[in-house]
Amino acid sequence: MNWHSRQICAPRSRLIFFGTLILASLCAVPTIAQQPLNTLIVAVDHRHSTSLNGDWHYLVDPIGRSLYGPDGAVRDNGYGLNEHPALIGERKGQEYDFSNAPIIKVPGDWNTQDPKLFRYEGVLWYQRDFDFQPKPEMRAFLHIGAANYRSYVWVNQKRICDHEGGFTPFDCEVTAALHSGKNFVVIAVDSTRLVDGIPSLVADWYNYGGLTRDVSLVEVPKAFVDDFDVHLKPVTMDGLAGYVHVDAATEGMPVTIRIPEAGLVDTVKTDANGRADFDIPARNLSLWSPESPRLYKVQIEAGEDRVSDDIGFRDIRVDGTLILLNGKPVFLRGVNAHAEAVGRSGRVNSDKDVETIFGFLKDLHANFVRLCHYPHDERMERMADREGIMVWSEIPIWQHISYDKPNVYVKADAMLHEMIRRDRDKASVILWSVANETPDNSTRTEFLKNLVVEAHRLDSTRLVTAALLQPQSPGDTKILTDPLAQALDVVGVNNYVGWYTYTPPQADNIKFELPQKPIIISEFGAEAKAGNHGPKDQRWTEEFQLDFYRHNFVMLSKIPQIRGFAPWVLVDFRSPTRNIPLLQDGYNRKGLISEDGKNKEAFDFIQEIYKDGSFGKAE
Ligand code: GCU
CA of 204 to the centre of ligand 1 (A): 6
Average pLDDT over residues 211-236: 98
Which residue's CA lies nearest to atom 12 of ligand 1?
Answer: 204
Q: How many CB atoms lie within 10 A of CB 613?
A: 12
**Contact predicate 494/524, CB 8 Å:** yes
Which residue has a Cα nearest atom 9 of ligand 1? 204
pLDDT at 288 (0 to 100): 98
CA of 584 to the centre of ligand 1 (A): 14
pLDDT, tens only, 93-146: 678 999 999 999 999 999 999 999 999 999 999 999 999 999 999 999 999 999
pLDDT of residue 7: 38
CA within 13 Å, CB half, 572: 25
398 vs 372: CA distance, rounded Å: 10
> Could you count the other beta carbons within 10 Å of the beta carbon of residue 432?
26
Beta strands in 165-238 (DSSP E): 170-173, 181-190, 215-221, 224-232
CB 416 within 8 A of CB 433: no
Amino acid identity, residue 339? A
Neighbours of 26 (CB within 10 A): 9
Of 134-143, 273-282, 426-435, 607-616, least confident by mean pLDDT is 607-616
Per residue in 556-609, pLDDT (tens digit) is: 999 999 999 999 999 999 999 999 999 999 999 999 999 999 999 999 999 999
Of the candidate ranges 35-39, 46-50, 483-487, the one whose mean pLDDT is the lowest = 35-39
| Nearest protein CA to atom 10 of ligand 1, as residue | 204
The rounded Å distance from CA 590 to ligand 1 centre is 9
CA 205–ligand 1 middle distance (angstroms): 9
Which residues of 312-425 form beta strands (DSSP E)?
Answer: 316-319, 322-325, 328-329, 332-333, 336-337, 368-371, 390-394
Ligand 1: nearest atom to the Cα of 373: 9
Residue 31's closest CA among 412, 340, 484, 342? 412
Among 370, 373, 523, 590, residue to substitute to test ligand 1 (most atoms within 8 Å of Cβ):
523
| pLDDT tens readout for residues 461-517 | 999 999 999 888 889 999 999 999 999 999 999 999 999 999 999 999 999 999 999
pLDDT confidence bin for 13, thresholds 50/70/90: low
Atom of ligand 1 nearest to the CA of 203: 9
Decide if 587 contacts 602 (C-beta within 8 A). no
Kindly state the percentage of the chain with pLDDT values over 90.
Answer: 88
**For the CA of 372, the nearest atom of ligand 1:** 9
**How far, in Å, from the CA of 599 to the mean position of ligand 1?**
20
How many Å lie between the centroid of ligand 1 and the Cα of residue 183? 44
The pLDDT, as a whole number, for residue 39 is: 81
Which protein residue's CA is at the shortest distance from atom 3 of ligand 1?
A: 204
- Distance from C-alpha of 414 to C-alpha of 433, rounded to nearest angstrom: 14
Q: Is the pLDDT of residue 18 over 60?
A: no
Q: Distance, CA 173 to ligand 1 centroid (Å)?
A: 38
CA 208 / ligand 1 centre spacing (Å):
18
Å from CA of 129 to ligand 1 middle = 41
Protein residues whose CB sits closer than 6 Å to any atom of ligand 1 = 204, 373, 436-437, 494, 523, 568, 588, 590
Share of residues in the chain with pLDDT > 70 (%): 92
pTM of full prediction above 0.85: yes
> For residues 183 and 164, what is the distance between their CA atoms, to the nearest angstrom?
25
Residues 411-427 as b or e (16 or more Cβ within 10 Å = b): bbbbbbbbbbbbbbbbb
Distance (angstroms) between ligand 1 centre and the Cα of 372 equals: 10
What average pLDDT does range 516-528 have in this prediction?
98
Q: How sure is the predictor about 38, in pLDDT bands with cuts at 50, 70 and 90?
A: confident
Q: Which atom of ligand 1 is nearest to the CA of 437?
A: 8
**So what's the pLDDT on residue 4?**
43
pLDDT tens for each residue of 286-323 = 999 999 999 999 999 999 999 999 999 999 999 999 99
Mean pLDDT value of segment 361-377 = 98
Query: Which residues lie closer than 8 Å to 300 by C-beta, 6 or more apart?
Result: 225, 228, 244, 255, 256, 257, 258, 306, 307, 308, 309
* The ligand 1 atom nearest the CA atom of 590: 13
Is residue 12 predicted with pLDDT exceeding 80? no
Q: Are 484 and 440 a contacting pair, CB within 8 Å? A: yes
Closest CA to ligand 1's atom 4: 204
Asked if residue 37 has pLDDT above 70, the reply is: no
What value does the mean pLDDT take over residues 165-179?
A: 97
CA 494 – ligand 1 centroid, Å: 9
**Mutational test site, ligand 1, from 397, 468, 588, max ligand atoms within 8 Å of CB:** 588
Q: Which amino acid is at 106?
A: V
Please report the pLDDT score of residue 35 as a whole number: 45
Ligand 1 atom closest to Cα of 494?
7
Give 201 Cα–ligand 1 centroid separation in angstroms.
15
Mutate to test the pocket of ligand 1, among 374, 495, 568, 587 (most ligand atoms within 8 A of CB): 568
Question: 501: how many CB neighbours lie within 10 A of its CB?
Answer: 14
Q: How confident is the model over 436-443, as a mean pLDDT?
A: 98
Q: Give residue-wise pLDDT tens across range 262-272.
A: 999 999 999 99
Ligand 1 pocket mutation, candidates 437, 438, 580, 587, criterion most atoms within 8 A of CB: 437
Q: pLDDT confidence of 616, banded at 50, 70, 90? A: low
Yes or no: say if 615 and 553 are a contact pair by the CB < 8 Å rule. yes
364 C-alpha vs ligand 1 centroid, how far in Å?
A: 21
170: number of Cβ within 10 Å: 26
- Our measurement of the distance from residue 369's CA atom to the centroid of its chain's CA atoms, rounded to an integer in Å, reads 13
